[in-house]
Amino acid sequence: MKEMLLTWLAVLVVLLVIMVGNVLGRSLSQVSDGIIQPDMLLILVGVKSVDLLVTLIPLGLYLGIMLAHGRFYRDNEMSVMHACGVGWLDLMRPTAIIGLLGVVAITALTLSASPWAARYEQSLKQTMREQSALSLVTPGKFIESSDGRTVFFALKANRERTQFNDVFMYRQSSTSEPAVDTARIASYQQDPETGDEYLIFTDGQTTVGNPGQAGYTVTDFKRQGILRPREEPAEPRLIRKGKSLSQLIGTNNPEDKAELQWRISIPLAALLLALLAVPLSYTSPREGRFGKVAIAVLIYIPYANLLVLMRKWIAAGTVPPWVGLWPVHLAVIALIVVLLARRVGWRWLLRRAV
**SS3 call for 206:** strand
**SS3 call for 4:** helix
**Alpha helices (runs of H) in 137-253, residue ranges in sequence order:** 245-248
Q: pLDDT category, 305, cuts 50, 70, 90? A: very high
- Name the residue ranges covered by the structural domains of the chain: 2-129+237-353, 133-228
The alpha carbon of residue 181 and the mean position of all alpha carbons in its chain are separated, in whole angstroms, by: 40
C-alpha distances (whole Å) from 287 to each of 32, 62, 73, 75, 257 are 48, 19, 9, 11, 45
Could you tell me if 260 and 321 are in contact, meaning their C-beta atoms sit under 8 angstroms apart?
Answer: no
User: Over the stretch 195-249, which tens digit does the pLDDT of each residue have?
Assistant: 677 788 888 888 888 877 777 888 888 888 877 655 554 445 556 777 777 778 8
For residue 37, the cross-strand partners are none
Could you tell me if 256 and 243 are in contact, meaning their C-beta atoms sit under 8 angstroms apart?
Answer: yes
User: Over the stretch 1-56, which tens digit does the pLDDT of each residue have?
Assistant: 666 677 778 888 888 888 888 888 887 777 766 566 677 778 888 888 888 888 88
162 versus 89: the higher-pLDDT residue is 162
Half-sphere exposure of 349 (CA within 13 A, CB side): 12
* Least confident range of 20-29, 126-135, 315-324: 126-135
Tell me how far apart the 2 most distant CA atoms of the chain are, in Å.
Answer: 96
